[in-house]
Structure 1
Amino acid sequence: MTEIAHRCGFIAVVGRPNVGKSTLTNALIGTKISIVSRKAQTTRHRIQGVLTRDREQFVFVDTPGFQTRHGGAMNKMMNRVVTQTLADVDVVLFVVEAGKWSPGDSKLLGLLHDPKKTILVISKIDQLKNRDELYPFVAQIASQFDFAAVVPVSSTKRHQLDQLLDEVAKLLPENEPFFDADTLTDRPVRFIAAELIREKIFRLVGDELPYGSTVVIEQWDETEKGVSIAACVIVERETHRPILLGVGGSHMKRIATEARQDIAKLLDKPVHLEIYIKVRKGWAEKESSLRDLGYE
């Protein structure tokens, strides 16, 4: 009896900002490895999440949203991550928000070159008011590119995620697993902790604070009983400090509390978290600063 081959490969999750790439990646893997926000430009790094099934291992690469409006160093870096990822993977999930097609989607579609490895994922179908609009919307996109498959999904409702995985599995090459079966991400836990803090900043003060902020873990002391973490939030201007702090430090207290709870859940142990603020002018517009802060 012929043994069924094991399949394993890399899957890029690409799309314009805020179409639900990180939510989809987290839902497929079953845990939060990429931060989620309603704000665009939340994901800045290429983050790998791993899902292992009986005869398949999926290595998802959640990419930054492809930027078409601004050309600063940060956005150029993020676009470079997207284009490099597209060249390196076995399967591409092109994520488009249901009922919404923009010039940004068209520009990213122009970067896709191999229909045999590209799946169109229509996200947020649960938010579509008129389901009758879905078919003509999909047909209009599919007429521009011969996708290997088209799968409408709802990440929050977990609708058709298994079907999406089955379609991806068909395109994966025969390989032995790249990671242990219990691996969820290739990113170190310090990176995930910093991302969780940044998520709280985006959710609480994202409308007030421009996107020139990042988080660096400066100290990490871990024992069997718990973890003590010192994190630094870097902002571009002195005027950003009071916005981040809030009245009487209310914003920062809430950010620290919610981040501490998420990190404790991630590590399954008590966490003591202290967060500081530092001003580093123009860090997001200098590629040297981006590299120093761990950006690819």
Structure 2
Amino acid sequence: MTQRCGFVAIVGRPNVGKSTLMNRILGQKVSITSRRPQTTRHQVMGIKTEDETQFIYVDTPGMHIQSRDRNKAINRFMNQAATQALRDIDCVVFLVDRTRWTEEDDVVLDKLTHVRAPVILAVNKVDWLKDKSTLLPWLESLQAKREFAAILPISAKHGTNVPELEAEVAQYLPEGVHYFPEDQITDRSQRFLAAELVREKVMRQLGDELPYQMTVEIEEFRDEGRIIHISALMLVERPGQKKILIGENGERIKKIGREARLEMERALGAKVMLNLWVKVKRGWSDDDRALKSLGYDLD
């Protein structure tokens, strides 16, 4: 049989379910998720090999409108990372949310104007629709937005029509040798995953209280076989944020650490000893040099 291999960018505005979709396709967590917009900050590759076909999905940060409160260096980085993922790809999955079309969906649509690869429109969270009769006329109206290769209603969370979406994508993957071993599922390291899992637990617990001026840096990742020792530094921009993150009598940081450790053990298949620290680093989210040193690097 002929081998096929290609890159598939999953794009959309913030919080439409891009990471949930990629995790569903792969059958395990590679991208972190939360109900908060802009949880994903980096391009993350998810690799799925089925027989002679290798899909290389690229989960991207949500493309958003640059406004006064969204014009920091980190916001610019996320938009650039999402746009960069559209270069040299073989197919695009453009994810939107049910029967809602927003200004930020128009931002994504505009970015796709010059993309030559086929674009599949996936309408997510259709299981949430109370009135299912609104779906068909909505899908028909979307055809006027641009010439899509296909329009599919899906549920990334429950897997509805996801196999059909994968079959649609497979048609557009070119012939070619596989770039990755068949058992590899991501290009990201265990160290990166550990940092992301800590950040996910913070986002889920403190999404409303703690703004996005928080990141995680792994200072130690030591694998001793049965036990992995991990030390993670959580950076915030103000002393008040540090206080929120630690919580009364340290209860908040203990809970974050406990949840992150359990998920790391599931993902890494070993016992994890996790130490968390919090440090104030003023202005890191609007400092290009600081961002690069913290791993926010498009290279």
Q: Map 1:214-233 to 2 at 5 A.
A: 214-233=215-234
Which shifted more, 103-112 or 14-23? Answer: 103-112
Q: Which residue of 2 aligns with 1:159?
A: 160
Distance of 1:154 and 1:235 partners within structure 2: 35
| Contact 2:26–2:185, Cα closer than 8 Å, also in 1 | yes
1:39 aligns with 2:36: yes
1:204, distance to aligned residue in structure 2 (A): 0.5
- Corresponding residue SS for 2:234: strand
Query: Normalising by structure 1, what TM-score?
Result: 0.97
| Contact 1:232–1:276, Cα closer than 8 Å, also in 2 | yes
1:55, distance to aligned residue in structure 2 (A): 2.0
1:154, distance to aligned residue in structure 2 (A): 0.7
Q: Map 1:163-174 to 2 at 5 A.
A: 163-174=164-175
Distance of 1:273 and 1:152 partners within structure 2: 41
Q: Which residue of 1 aligns with 2:55?
A: 58
Q: Which residue of 1 aligns with 2:24?
A: 27
Distance of 1:91 and 1:10 partners within structure 2: 7
Distance of 2:72 and 2:271 partners within structure 1: 39
Amino acid at match of 2:79: N
Deviations 1:140-195 (A, max 9, x none): 22211110111111112111111111000001111111111110100000000100
Distance of 2:225 and 2:133 partners within structure 1: 55
| Contact 2:89–2:117, Cα closer than 8 Å, also in 1 | no
Distance of 2:271 and 2:283 partners within structure 1: 36
| Contact 1:48–1:187, Cα closer than 8 Å, also in 2 | yes
CA RMSD of aligned residues (A): 1.1
Q: Which residue of 1 aligns with 2:204?
A: 203
Q: Map 1:34-113 to 2 at 5 A.
A: 34-68=31-65, 69=67, 70-112=70-112, 113=114
Deviations 1:69-103 (A, max 9, x none): 42221111111111111123111110001111101
Structure 1 unaligned segments of length 5 or more: list them: none
- Corresponding residue SS for 2:111: coil
How many pairs align? 293
Deviations 1:44-82 (A, max 9, x none): 000001111112111110000002042221111111111
Q: Map 1:232-251 to 2 at 5 A.
A: 232-251=233-252
Q: Which residue of 1 aligns with 2:188?
A: 187
Amino acid at match of 1:74: I
Structure 2 unaligned segments of length 5 or more: list them: none
| Contact 1:116–1:147, Cα closer than 8 Å, also in 2 | no
- Corresponding residue SS for 1:65: coil
- Corresponding residue SS for 2:28: coil
1:243, distance to aligned residue in structure 2 (A): 0.5
